[in-house]
């Protein structure tokens, strides 16, 4: 879980600094987002965590996320994993677990 938290902290910091997607996070409390995403990724990867946050469809329903913004978010996560020296094969496995969420996160087609 500590390794996941480092990647998520890095990714959230990147997203909040990225002018392409920063507006999506204007009302976001960074520590709350970091905690929730860490729990979510920990659960998805088979860890002992239980994600208690909103489902992705509800959480993103009014945000107006398009495919470009989603791709920018993924890019930030990939850079964060690179920074933390996560092996490429592990990165791919995590991205494969997260990829189906795009259907619920992208609301502008």
Q: What are the residue boundaries of the structural domains of the chain, listed by start?
A: 2-105
**Other Cβ atoms closer than 10 A to 32:** 10
pLDDT confidence tier of residue 1, bands split at 50, 70 and 90: confident
Closest CA to 42 of 53, 51, 33: 51
pLDDT tens by residue, 71-103: 999 999 999 999 999 999 999 999 999 999 999
Per-residue buried b or exposed e for 74-98, using 16+ beta carbons within 10 Å of the residue's own CB: ebbbbebbeebebeeeebeebeeeb
pTM for the full model? Answer: 0.92
CATH superfamily of the domain spanning 2-105 = Globins (1.10.490.10)
Burial classification of residue 108, based on how many CB atoms lie within 10 Å of its CB (0-12 exposed, 13-18 middle, 19 or more buried): exposed
Q: Which two tokens stand for residue 95?
A: 């991205």
């Amino acid at each position: 879980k500590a390794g996941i938290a480092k990647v998520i902290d890095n990714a959230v910091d990147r997203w909040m600094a990225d002018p392409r997607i920063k507006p999506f996070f204007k009302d976001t409390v960074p520590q709350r987002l970091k905690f929730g995403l860490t729990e979510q990724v920990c659960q998805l990867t088979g860890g002992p965590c239980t994600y208690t946050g909103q489902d992705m469809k509800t959480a993103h329903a009014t945000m107006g996320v398009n495919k470009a913004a989603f791709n920018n978010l993924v890019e930030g996560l990939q850079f964060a994993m690179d920074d933390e020296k996560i092996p490429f094969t592990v990165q791919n496995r995590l991205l494969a677990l997260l990829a189906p969420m795009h259907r619920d996160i992208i609301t502008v087609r």
